[in-house]
Amino acid sequence: MTDNRGVSPSVGPLPRTKRRNAVLALYDSPVHRDWAFWMTAGWGTITALAIGTGEPSSSMPVWLDTVLAVLTFVILFGVFPSWLRLLVRRWLWRRHGTSPQPFPSGRLETERGLAVTPTIPPFTTSAPYPPPPSQPPAGTRGVQGRHVPEAVNLDLGETRGLSSNVMADARSGMPYPVARALRTLQQANTGKERYEAILDAAETLAISASVTAAAFLLARSESDAHQGDDQTRSSLAALRSALLSKGATFGTWTHWLEAVRPMTASAPEAVPGLRAALERDPDTPGLLERLDDLRKERNRAAHGDKPQSEGEATSRVKEIHPHLEGALKSAAPLLRAPWLLTVSAAYQPRKRSFDVIAKHAMGDHPDFERRRFNWRNPVATDVFYVLTDNGPITLSPFIASLFCPHCQQMEVCYAARAGKNTGPGQFKSFTRGHILQSEALGNDLRALPDARRPR
C-alpha cells in the first residue's frame, strides 16, 4: 500500500527522471543510465589495466605512465565525445525551442508499461483561483489570462520625505559628507536601505555639526583675545578626552553638543550659527532633540531590533525621517559656512597676501569645483578649512583628506580615535567607513587643550 493517491498500490516506485547534462555539464543524471558516462569510465579502466599490467614502454615510472595514459584516453574517447554530444544537443534545443532540462510531463510511463499520474501534479484543482475580473483594474497588465500588478513607486512624501525643499537644499548647500549621505538616501530602493541610510545620514550630520563647532572653538582658544577662556578650553578638553579614550561614536558627538549648549548662551559669537541650531522650542524640537531620537533608533537597531521585514522597515522610515528633516533645518545656520580643501597657496610679496586655490567641498558631487581666493594669512595645502567672514578656520585635526588603500583614492575622513600618549590617529572614511591612520594627526589630537594641563 502507499499513501500516494495518484499511484496504484500495484505499481512500483517511479524511476528517477532523466536530466540531461546535469553532471559536470557533460553527463546525464542519473549517471548509471548514461552511455557516455560508461564509455568514459570504461576507457579509463581498460587503459589502466592495459598499461599497469603490461611491460614498461618508457623510462618513466609505471604509475606515472599509467596516469598519463588514462588521462589521455579518457579525454580523447570519453570527455571529448560527451562534449560533442553537448554541442549537438544545444543546437537541437535552439532549433526546436525546447528546454535543455525539460520537466517531467503530466503522465509518466513506468517500466511496466503503465500510465501513472505524478505524485505531485503541477497544478491542483482542489482550491481554484478566483475568476479574474471582467475589466483589469488600473495599474495591472494581462498576462496569459491572468492579471499581474505592475511595479509602482512608493509615495515619496510618506516613505522617504525626499521631495521636500529641505532635502534638496541640503544636498546642494551643505558640506559634502552630509550631502553625500542624503544622496545615498535618495537613491535607496527598499525600505531597509532607506532605514539604514537615514541613520547614517543622521550620524554624519551630528559629526559635521560637531567638528564645525570644534573648529571655531579651537581657533578661538588659539587667539590672543580668548586664550584664557575656560569655557572654550573645557569644551575642547571634553572632546579630546572622548577621542583619546573609547573613540568617537554617534553618542559622543550628540553628548558633546549638549555640553557646549550652555556656552552658546553666554558667548553666541564663539560659534556662528550654533546658538540658533541648538535653540530649544517647546513646540518644535531642535537639532539635539532630533539627533537624540535618531541616535536612540540607531542603538535600537544595533542591539538586535532591526526591521525584519520590508513592511516594518517602511513603517520605521515613516517614523524617523521627519526627525532627520527637522535636524537638517536646525543645522542649516551652522553648516552653511563653506568647507574648502586647499590645493595650493602662493605668497604675493607686493600684495602681502596669499593666492589660494581650494576645492569647494559643498554639495553631493565628489568632484569638487576649484575656486581662487586671496587671503592675508597663510594656509596649509591638502587641509580642510571653514570659510568665515573673518577668513578661513582650519578643520584639522577633526577632518582630513587621506588616501585610502582599499578604495585607491583620497577620502574625506573624520577623527575617530587616538592613543593617549603615542600612536597614529585613527580616521574613518565618511563614504565607506574604512579606518585610515595618520601619525601627525594623532599628535595634533593629543595637542588639543587638556583640562589637566596648565595654561
pLDDT, tens digit, 9 for 90 and up, residues 64-74: 778 888 888 88
Residue 414 near residue 206 (C-beta atoms within 8 A): no
pTM over 0.85: no
Residue 93 near residue 99 (C-beta atoms within 8 A): yes
CB atoms within 10 A of CB 395: 25
Residue 172 near residue 360 (C-beta atoms within 8 A): no
What's the whole-number average pLDDT of the chain? 80
Task: Give the pLDDT band (50/70/90) at residue 217.
Answer: very high
Q: What is the pLDDT of residue 427?
A: 95
Kindly report which listed range (96-105, 227-236, 296-305) carries the lowest average pLDDT score. 96-105
Q: What is the pLDDT of residue 196?
A: 94
In angstroms, the CA 403 to CA 425 distance is 14
Distances (CA, A) of 266 to 50, 190, 254, 269: 100, 46, 20, 9
Kindly report which listed range (121-135, 164-178, 216-230, 290-304) carries the lowest average pLDDT score. 121-135
Residue with cell 534545443: 93
Task: Give the pLDDT band (50/70/90) at residue 143.
Answer: very low
**Average pLDDT of 137-145?**
43
Task: Give the pLDDT band (50/70/90) at residue 343.
Answer: very high
Kindly report which listed range (20-24, 55-59, 126-130) carries the lowest average pLDDT score. 126-130
pLDDT above 50: residue 104 = no
Residue with cell 555640553: 259
What confidence tens digit (pLDDT) does each residue in 360-401 have? 999 998 889 999 999 999 999 999 999 998 899 999 999 999
Distances (CA, A) of 184 to 78, 129, 350: 54, 42, 47
Give 3-state DSSP helix, strand, coil % of the chain, rounded to 5.
45, 20, 40
Q: What is the pLDDT of residue 241?
A: 92
Task: Give the pLDDT band (50/70/90) at residue 228.
Answer: low
Q: What is the pLDDT of residue 202?
A: 95
